[in-house]
Amino acid sequence: MTEVSQSPLGRPAVHESALGHVTGSARYVDDLPEPAGMLHGLPVGSPVARGRLVARRAERALALPGVRAVLFAADVPGHNRIGPIVHDEPLLAEDEVFAEGQVVALVLGDSVAACRAGAKALELEFEEMPAILTVAEALEAGSLLAPPHEMRRGDVAGAMARAAVIVAGELHTGGQDHFYLETQATLAIPGENDTLHLESSTQHPTEVQVACAEVLGCARNQIVVAVPRMGGAFGGKESQASQFAALAALGARHTGQPVKVWLSRDLDMTMTGKRHPFWSRYRAGLDARGRLLALEVELVADGGWSVDLSPAILDRGMFHLDNGYFVPNLRFVGKAVRTNKASNTAFRGFGGPQGMAVIEEVLSRAAERLGLDPAEIRRRNYYGDCPDEHGPENMVDVPVPDGDQTSAGADVISLVRARCLTPYYQEVPHCRLPRIHAELLARCDWEARRAEIAAWNARSPWQKRGLGFMPVKFGISFTNTMLNQAGALVLVYADGSVQLNHGGTEMGQGLHTKMVAVCAHELGVTTAQVRCMATATDKVPNTSATAASSGSDLNGMAVQAACAEIRERVRPLAAELLGTTPEAVQFAGGAAHGPGGRSVPWSDLAKTAWMRRISLSAAGYYATPNIAYDRTAGRGKPFHYFAYGAAAVEVEISGLTGEHRISRVDILHDVGSSLLPTIDVGQIEGGFIQGVGWLTGEELVWDPKGRLLTHGPSTYKIPAIGDCPAIFNVALLERAEQDSTIHGSKAVGEPPLMLGLGVVSALRQAIAAFGPGEVELGIPCTPEAILRAVVKQRAAAVTRAADAAE
């Protein structure tokens, strides 16, 4: 019998909502029809970064037309404190405020205009207190959000003493606003018997459910949270949708009427947290060939005013200080500090980009000192055996106690010798970077272009070009092991049509499109027969956030399990109808197939199954096996596997204005066996550009009192279409199937963002063309930063010329 293969997997696919996105028919929370009697809820934020709230009066506001109620902390019936890890965030401010924009009151009114008038008429009095606004101030005040995290191995001092090159310095990476197109929004609709239905723009419907239940003092089964879709989230709606949803719930409970809380762009930017700015101090020792011998890093994350997800984000920063490089001797210390700014939160990469930026800075500086190609120095440091480059000499110098084993039971010494042990003692079994590196260099014509660019630069006094390189290795799994679980609920109707429910949320990343494909593949139906339902807590309970790039990994396995169960229940029936054995039946393309070209349509099969009283619905569940991490010991296997990729980036800069343009980008990315290549390529392009935005144009500025000045698109510049490279080649690594993942695929959501660091590498190359010596380039690489770096390089060129003339 021939293989019947009509699976949608691995084929080009259009995002399930693409048409709706471009025609405007795709509905977001604020597009939903407004229920009768609906009120608007407007959160009112603190105008000061730190202070005592000494008076709050609402009488004048309540006297205004259309203002229905004003709620303060005392109006919360249950717990006023929420938060994803620790409950340290007052939903409504109590006696003190800790950041500008911290919500103090909720104004409820008939219209947004009435709420705004009400907010203006509120009488709030603050006694200002001194605020902590920088990482340096926080460190000095000992203002930590969580105990430090430490990783160590070997003999750092000994290795530094043997190093041919020492690179030491400090690095600051800035914050980043999520700038999702759809701002935070939730509609809360009260039901019978103290129940509540919420339509929320959240990555984490369960956390919204939990927060609402706790704030209202009710059981979780009284609350249903549904997510139609999000207009982007990027981590900004992992924990921080909860507060605004809980405010809507509070308003609905208080008034008995539906309440919608929706934030304007300025409010959203002022009230919500951003990517964590990180500050680090590093010291690295390398041998004469540019191989890392030792690395010491103190990594500090600016968490803002509350804990939120900061400890986990710091951890992921620590887990990515190595990027794709083997570091024999090391000591990493991580701290998350509390400052009086909006509470910083998850943002694509979740601390990983900030950690990676440090080791990339180290390698870039070392390459400039040693006169090495930026790709070559990186290649020499990749994980894995590389016999032509890595003599045994620096391996045996890692003192490791005899008999030491990893949590997986492997011998530490042999893993160190094979250069495949991370700083947290997880093995990197088959690092794909050497292969990706070689293929990408060939694809993008690296050597020839380097030579061409050097020749071009020699002729061009004020415009210079640079070719940069950036490899990425990114760990996949929530580093809090417990969160790596997912569920699905599949319903097949008697006409053969399928409703697919799973615990993941759709934010534009194409998760629903992938899940429909997995479901169709598993049942052997067409994608047109499967409808993915809005994510809802009454379909799949106790879900994790759709985050850590693992939405399709986790939910895909759960969908597969649910579908397999239904398929196997109907298999004997199909065999009977086809006159064959159950094993001989194949499900594909909307039919069950037997020998001799016979088939029975899935719709007939479903109908007959119903008549024969065979259950046509099933729940599926998945938990990632064999992962665990011990934060105190700094050891374990936090990740199920690693995703890889690399980018070659060409830029041109102006030495007169500091402006730059990205002329060409080549990316080779490892998504395993791609579930849907068109969706994956979209994630890679978008992630890369978002990374470039973080590293070049996007700059957050606060005034000396800690008030955000860049709270709208006129002052905060995200990349536009004109900033995209003219040549943008994205390819997926072939023959890349991954073990024990859904159909051999790999997560793709976050890793490509870090490829954006390739633009920094490229800019450094272009700047170096202005003069000798190490480049000093601050992040974000704005025109001002680039110009400063160019001026320094040119001064060095003048000095050198003068020296030569003497």
Q: How far is the CB of 685 from ligand MOS (least distance, A)?
A: 17
Rank residues 353 and 384 by Cβ distance to ligand MOS and give the closer one.
353
**Is residue 357 part of the contact set for ligand HPA (CB under 6 A)?**
no
- Kindly write out the interface string for residues 234-253 of this chain, putting x where it contacts ligand HPA by CB under 6 A and - elsewhere: ----x---------------
**Is residue 175 part of the contact set for ligand MTE (CB under 6 A)?**
no
Nearest to 562 by CA among 483, 609, 497, 500: 500
What DSSP state is assigned to residue 373?
Answer: -
**Is residue 241 part of the contact set for ligand MOS (CB under 6 A)?**
no
Tokens 């103290």 correspond to: 194
Contact pick of 235, 384, 751, 780 for ligand MOS (by CB under 6 A): 235
Which stretch in 156-164, 344-352, 589-597, 701-709 sits in contact with ligand MOS by CB under 6 A? 344-352
Q: Determine phi and psi for 440, rounding to 5 degrees.
A: -70, -45
Looking at residues 267 to 306 of the shown chain, list those that interact with ligand MOS (rule: CB under 6 A).
Answer: none
List, in sequence order, every beta strand (DSSP E) within 586-672. 586-588, 591-593, 599-601, 617-623, 628-630, 635-637, 641-654, 660-670
Which uninterrupted H or E stretch holds 357? helix 352-370
**Is residue 235 part of the contact set for ligand MTE (CB under 6 A)?**
yes
**Is residue 474 part of the contact set for ligand MOS (CB under 6 A)?**
no
**Is residue 749 part of the contact set for ligand MTE (CB under 6 A)?**
yes
Q: Coil, strand or helix: which one is 603? A: helix
User: How many whole angstroms separate alpha carbon 210 and alpha carbon 346?
Assistant: 19
Spatial contact of 307 and 374, defined as CB atoms under 8 Å apart? no
Q: How far is the CB of 240 from ligand HPA (least distance, A)?
A: 12
Pairing of strands 223-227, 259-262: unpaired
- Kindly write out the interface string for residues 436-475 of this chain, putting x where it contacts ligand MTE by CB under 6 A and - elsewhere: ----------------------------------------
- Kindly write out the interface string for residues 745-774 of this chain, putting x where it contacts ligand MOS by CB under 6 A and - elsewhere: -----x------------------------
Contact pick of 89, 214, 650, 750 for ligand MTE (by CB under 6 A): 750
Contact pick of 347, 383, 474, 478 for ligand HPA (by CB under 6 A): 478
Dihedral of the alpha carbons of 162, 166, 169, 171, in degrees to the nearest 10: -90
User: How many whole angstroms separate alpha carbon 272 and alpha carbon 104?
Assistant: 14
**Is residue 732 part of the contact set for ligand MTE (CB under 6 A)?**
no
Query: Using CB atoms, what's the residue nearest to ligand HPA?
Result: 548
Spatial contact of 251 and 188, defined as CB atoms under 8 Å apart? yes
Looking at residues 542 to 581 of the shown chain, list those that interact with ligand MOS (rule: CB under 6 A).
Answer: 547-548
Q: Work out the widest C-alpha separation in the chain, in whole angstroms.
A: 99
Looking at residues 144 to 203 of the shown chain, list those that interact with ligand MOS (rule: CB under 6 A).
Answer: 203
Q: How far is the CB of 481 from ligand MTE (least distance, A)?
A: 17
Q: Coil, strand or helix: which one is 760? A: helix
Residue 22, classified by CB atoms within 10 Å of its CB into exposed (0-12), middle (13-18) or buried (19+), is exposed
- Kindly write out the interface string for residues 497-536 of this chain, putting x where it contacts ligand MOS by CB under 6 A and - elsewhere: ----------------------------------------
Q: How far is the CB of 135 from ligand HPA (least distance, A)?
A: 22
Looking at residues 688 to 717 of the shown chain, list those that interact with ligand MOS (rule: CB under 6 A).
Answer: none
Spatial contact of 582 and 643, defined as CB atoms under 8 Å apart? no
Residue 509 interacts with which of ligand HPA, ligand MTE, ligand MOS, none, CB < 5 to 8 Å by class = ligand MTE
User: How many whole angstroms separate alpha carbon 158 and alpha carbon 181?
Assistant: 52
Nearest to 506 by CA among 222, 182, 275: 182
Nearest to 298 by CA among 278, 316, 271: 278
Q: Which residues contact 564 (CB under 8 A, 6 or more apart)?
A: 522, 620
Tokens 């603050």 correspond to: 126
Query: Using CB atoms, what's the residue nearest to ligand MOS?
Result: 235
Q: Determine phi and psi for 527, rounding to 5 degrees.
A: -65, -25
**Is residue 546 part of the contact set for ligand MTE (CB under 6 A)?**
yes
Which uninterrupted H or E stretch holds 334? strand 329-337
Write the DSSP string, 466-480.
EEEEEEEEEEES-SS
Q: Determine phi and psi for 578, rounding to 5 degrees.
A: -90, -5
Structure tokens at 482: 């417990």
Which stretch in 278-286, 505-513, 669-677, 755-763 sits in contact with ligand MTE by CB under 6 A? 505-513
Rank residues 680 and 699 by Cβ distance to ligand MTE and give the closer one.
680
The count of chain residues that interact with ligand HPA, using the rule CB under 6 A, is 13
User: How many whole angstroms separate alpha carbon 8 and alpha carbon 5?
Assistant: 9
- Kindly write out the interface string for residues 531-560 of this chain, putting x where it contacts ligand HPA by CB under 6 A and - elsewhere: --------------x-xx------------
Rank residues 349 and 524 by Cβ distance to ligand MOS and give the closer one.
349
**Is residue 314 part of the contact set for ligand HPA (CB under 6 A)?**
no
10-to-218, 501, 652 alpha-carbon distances in Å: 45, 22, 36
Tokens 């977001």 correspond to: 28
Spatial contact of 519 and 602, defined as CB atoms under 8 Å apart? no
**Is residue 511 part of the contact set for ligand MTE (CB under 6 A)?**
yes
CB atoms within 10 A of CB 740: 11
Rank residues 51 and 749 by Cβ distance to ligand MTE and give the closer one.
749
**Is residue 509 part of the contact set for ligand MTE (CB under 6 A)?**
yes
**Is residue 340 part of the contact set for ligand MTE (CB under 6 A)?**
no
Nearest to 347 by CA among 274, 294, 293, 266: 274
Looking at residues 407 to 436 of the shown chain, list those that interact with ligand MOS (rule: CB under 6 A).
Answer: none
Rank residues 268 and 750 by Cβ distance to ligand MOS and give the closer one.
750
Q: Which is the catalytic residue, given 150, 750, 774, 806? A: 750
Rank residues 424 and 474 by Cβ distance to ligand MOS and give the closer one.
474
Rank residues 30 and 137 by Cβ distance to ligand MTE and give the closer one.
30
Contact pick of 40, 254, 276, 348 for ligand MOS (by CB under 6 A): 348
Q: How far is the CB of 230 from ligand MOS (least distance, A)?
A: 11
**Is residue 153 part of the contact set for ligand MTE (CB under 6 A)?**
no
Residue 550 interacts with which of ligand MOS, ligand MTE, ligand HPA, none, CB < 5 to 8 Å by class = ligand MTE
Q: How far is the CB of 345 from ligand HPA (least distance, A)?
A: 10
Nearest to 103 by CA among 54, 42, 43, 50: 43
Nearest to 666 by CA among 439, 376, 374, 361: 439
Dihedral of the alpha carbons of 715, 132, 754, 741, in degrees to the nearest 10: -120
**Is residue 234 part of the contact set for ligand MTE (CB under 6 A)?**
yes
Query: Using CB atoms, what's the residue nearest to ligand MTE?
Result: 551
**Is residue 480 part of the contact set for ligand HPA (CB under 6 A)?**
yes
Nearest to 83 by CA among 206, 243, 212: 243
Spatial contact of 232 and 12, defined as CB atoms under 8 Å apart? no
- Nearest 5 degrees, angle CA 781-CA 709-CA 788? 25
Nearest to 255 by CA among 80, 56, 60, 109: 109
**Is residue 124 part of the contact set for ligand MOS (CB under 6 A)?**
no
Q: How far is the CB of 473 from ligand HPA (least distance, A)?
A: 15
- 685 catalytic, yes or no? no
Looking at residues 349 to 378 of the shown chain, list those that interact with ligand MOS (rule: CB under 6 A).
Answer: 350
Contact set with ligand HPA (CB under 6 A) = 238, 309, 312, 316, 346, 350, 478-480, 483, 545, 547-548
Contact set with ligand MTE (CB under 6 A) = 232-235, 348, 504, 507-509, 511, 546-552, 683, 686, 747, 749-750
- Could you list the active site residues? 750
Contact set with ligand MOS (CB under 6 A) = 203, 235, 238, 346-348, 350, 547-548, 750
